[in-house]
A and B are shown apart, each in its own frame.
Chain A
């Protein structure tokens, strides 16, 4: 079945360091890969997304890379700040298909130590 694996489950970095979170998806027909940041008690917030027709996308300190052959995609956060501390979820979907449903990873708890 459809599955998204996410690693690591927890990540602790020093302020200013980089953080990398990796996901692997199983359905080769997936073509849309968003990343969500979820703070305690709040809804998931979209921070960046990538579609299968590109290999990399950047938005200030955040970047996402996609390797369709290996079915891997990764989130890169540079110059981390304490406010980046949250749970991050990757997801995959088949946008434009009959059902545009998101399959989520299990989440990564990122702690940025000041």
Chain B
């Protein structure tokens, strides 16, 4: 167990809908990152939050957005879902230069 929890674990959405994924970071970890892992590929960095501010973003369109709360938990929001958004969404938490821990992930299927 890494102490990083994500919800929901599985969900199915229709193209054009919106989705919110949630993540609780490991205790004391003030940095949360989100990754998208499409089938058969490595995880791709979406963005990172540090002390409630986005401080890095990968090559993802603006319809991918996020939040970090004062308790360091985080949300990933995706608007106008497309079929290609179907993937495993991974939340990772860390503190400083220390090890990055992944949650179990949220499996999103867009139909």
Residues of A within 8 A of B (CB): 32, 34, 36, 42-46, 49, 89, 91, 93, 95-96, 98-107
Contact = CB atoms under 8 A, between A and B. Distances in A.
A98 to B, nearest CB: 6
Contacts, number: 59
A43 B70 CA distance: 26
Contact of B43 (A42, A46, A49, A102): A102
15 contacts: A32-B97, A36-B102, A43-B102, A43-B103, A43-B104, A45-B102, A98-B56, A100-B33, A100-B94, A100-B97, A101-B48, A101-B58, A104-B43, A104-B44, A106-B42
Given A100-B48, A106-B41, 10 more contacts: A42-B104, A43-B103, A44-B43, A44-B90, A44-B102, A89-B42, A93-B100, A101-B33, A101-B58, A102-B92
B42 A105 contact: yes
B31 A100 contact: yes
Contacts of B94: 100
